[in-house]
Chains A and B, each alone.
Chain A
Amino acid sequence: MSNKVALTGHEILANAMRQINPDVVAAYPITPQTELVQLFSQFVADGKVDTDFVTVESEHSAMSATVGASAGGARAMTATAANGLGLMWEVVYIAASTRLPIVMPVVNRALSGPINIHCDHSDSMGARDSGWIQLYAEDAQEAYDNALQAIRIGEHEDVRLPVMVNMDGFIISHAVENAELLADKDVKEFIGDYNPDHSLLDPENQITVGPVDLQDFYFEHKRQQIDAMENAKDVIADVAQEYKEMTGRGVEYFEEYKLDDAEIGILALGSTAGTAKVAVDQLREQGVKAGLLKLRVFRPFPSEELVEALKHLDVLAVMDRAETFSTTGGPVFADVRSAFYDAKSDVEVVNYVYGLGGRDTRVEDVVSVYEDLQEITASGKVDNRVNYLGVRE
């Protein structure tokens, strides 16, 4: 039994947290995540969950308390955005390397400076090497679906890694959408109980968490994290399949939109994928063979599967809502291009950095990217490998 609602992204995600009913949530408010935690704290105050809600004085403490709770064997969550994630930084790495399956919604927002509260992916992309699994959502429904699946993925015994559930700030978090919420009992059944292998609160089996780990063993522990990420690929696919059987919704690593016979394509993640779908539809009406690949899972990176889905294209544009300042393009572009290199593919791959700091990206902007791709196909040459879409010249 599911329940159709019209709510904001935050309300929908807060309901996911209510249904998950974590043992501990420690959080600090930061725009645009504030409302999410506030709504959840109302559920705590109203007795709708039996979560221990820890109010802390910073995001560093929020992640620290969440790590402590998780090491104690609790199902623990927090949420953050932008500079909040920045302030959590060192503990974000500790959560992953200690193999704690924390689930954290990240309401994506530009990192200062200059100070900006609007959406881009500089926060989560900045944390791409921290060892967290990263899921991205096109809309609030997917953010909800990802949050529930994240619990299963992170806690799987072959994985035991934390998961970021990314949702575009304001664009998804503050807009009202239709969504289908599962029945509380179905969520409970789907996520099951959390049974950690070890707990700091087990006096019969005393352990030390977070000891010094120098040149003797640190490398081995990093190697284990890589193994867990490799395992996560299968687990993500299995959990997605199971979720799909239950709800009819969901994809494993990415969604292919009109990609089968496409000649030119865009790869995007987050809410822009929705905008791109409209652009694809418009172009298809004009007979242009345009397609879209919407990436759901950025860490682990589904390299082989991506190439397989895209290798028949003439030209692919990778959309990046973050910069790396490498001067060679954005973070998603780097990974996609590297995947194509291995495949010895002759697909031209170009990069569009767009939407920084909440710069609006409209359907016509995406259409202009497809037009560029048509030109590349026609001329057979790439003038600009990396492009800045929507910046004033």
Chain B
Amino acid sequence: MTAKKDAQKPGWKDVPEGGLILESGNATEYKTGGWRTHRPELDKDQCINCHRCWVYCPDSAIVSEDEEVTGFDHDYCKGCGICAHECPVDAISMIKEEPSTEE
């Protein structure tokens, strides 16, 4: 019995031998944002663009354009909340990603 989603994946004759990964830099294809339970939200009015969040983010999920923090790359943000914790002016708040089942 094969689950439907498994059927879409390559079979044993098609995957590279020995578990090798044959191209470099493809980790970007592995979107890890799905692990998140809380997402950061930015209040642009409060932000003083000190870039502390950018420095402290353990991924590289803070988006900065033209020296301004503009938001988050939700494909990779794990929702750890470090950015919110480090922000000196409380410009980032963590909000629940989905209503929990208890609610």
**Which residues of A does B touch, CB under 8 Å?**
97-100, 160, 197-198, 205-211, 213, 216-217, 219-221, 223-224, 227
Contacts and interface: CB of A to CB of B under 8 A. Distances in A.
Contacts of A197: 17
Interface string B22-41: 11100000000000000000
Contact of A206 (B10, B18, B24): B24
A211 B30 CA distance: 13
Given A206-B23, A208-B24, A220 B15 contact: yes
A227 B12 contact: yes
Contacts of B10: 220
Counting contact residues on chain B (CB < 8 A from A), the size range is 10 to 19
B12 A97 contact: no
Contact of A221 (B9, B12, B22): B12
Given A221-B12, A223-B12, A209 B23 contact: no
A207 B21 contact: yes
A198 B22 contact: yes
Given A209-B20, A220-B11, A221-B15, 17 more contacts: A97-B19, A100-B18, A160-B18, A198-B20, A198-B22, A206-B23, A206-B24, A207-B21, A208-B21, A209-B18, A210-B19, A213-B19, A217-B19, A221-B17, A224-B12, A224-B18, A227-B12
B18 A221 contact: yes
Contacts of B19: 97-98, 210-211, 213, 217, 221
A160 B20 contact: no
A220 B7 CA distance: 12
A58 to B, nearest CB: 24
A184 B12 CA distance: 40
Given A198-B22, A206-B23, A206-B24, A99 B12 contact: no
Given A198-B22, A207-B22, A220 B17 contact: no
24 contacts: A97-B19, A98-B19, A100-B18, A160-B18, A197-B17, A198-B20, A205-B22, A206-B24, A207-B22, A207-B23, A207-B24, A208-B20, A208-B21, A208-B24, A211-B21, A216-B9, A220-B11, A221-B17, A221-B18, A223-B12, A224-B12, A224-B13, A224-B17, A227-B12
Interface in B27-66: none
